[in-house]
Homo-oligomer: A and B are copies of this chain.
Amino acid sequence: MKTEVDLSESYKLLHPRPVVLVCAKGKDGKVNVMSCSWITPVSDDPPLIAISLWKEGYTHKLIDETGEFTVNIPSSKLLEQVWLAGIKSGSKTDKIRLLKFNLTPSKMVEAPGIEECLGALECKVKNRMEVEEQILYIAEVKRALADKTYFKKDVWTDEAELLLHCAGKTFSIPKLIKHKSQIF
């Protein structure tokens, strides 16, 4: 039987969800990375995504400067780096250096990708909407990359051990299910 959940915790009902590392490069050339799971595709043709970032965050500032960013998909093997990318502020810490990430140049945007991640989306902002303390960006995916060892037939394999965020310090990984449904 279902019972009430405190409204301030209600977003956790929509977790676990994939964690990504958002990478942006300011006009001064400074690169920052942050972790996030409030992201969703919104259209497949053209490919558009929506991502919600905190209004006071440093990444939001860099994205507003250039209108560009990359979305990088980490394996759960990067859990410690993902955690630090989420709790440290890029305005005070050089997170790329701290997390020992190697950057790779993108083709369609100035913001680089993160070599250690399994996938990357190069994105350009098309629209933005202020939503309370957050900015919701609608961005077009201009280029997509994946490590095909782990992304087969357009599906991440279990071996990718993708990182899903549940709440706080709790994470999970996805396991493919086999089903014998006759209706498929």
Contacts and interface: CB of A to CB of B under 8 A. Distances in A.
Interface of A: 1-18, 20, 38-50, 52, 71, 73, 76, 79-80, 83-84, 113, 118-121, 127, 129, 131-134, 136, 138, 141-148, 151, 153-156, 158, 162, 164, 166-177, 179, 181, 183-184
A179 B155 CA distance: 25
Contact of A3 (B13, B47, B79, B145): B145
B156 A10 contact: no
Contacts of A8: 44-45, 47
A144 B175 contact: no
Contact of A166 (B13, B121, B132, B156): B156
A11 B45 CA distance: 10
Nearest to A158: B172
B147 A14 contact: no
Q: Mostly helix, strand, loop or mixed at chain A's interface?
A: strand
Given A79-B179, A155-B12, A40 B50 contact: yes
Nearest to A14: B41
A13 B151 contact: yes
A143 to B, nearest CB: 7
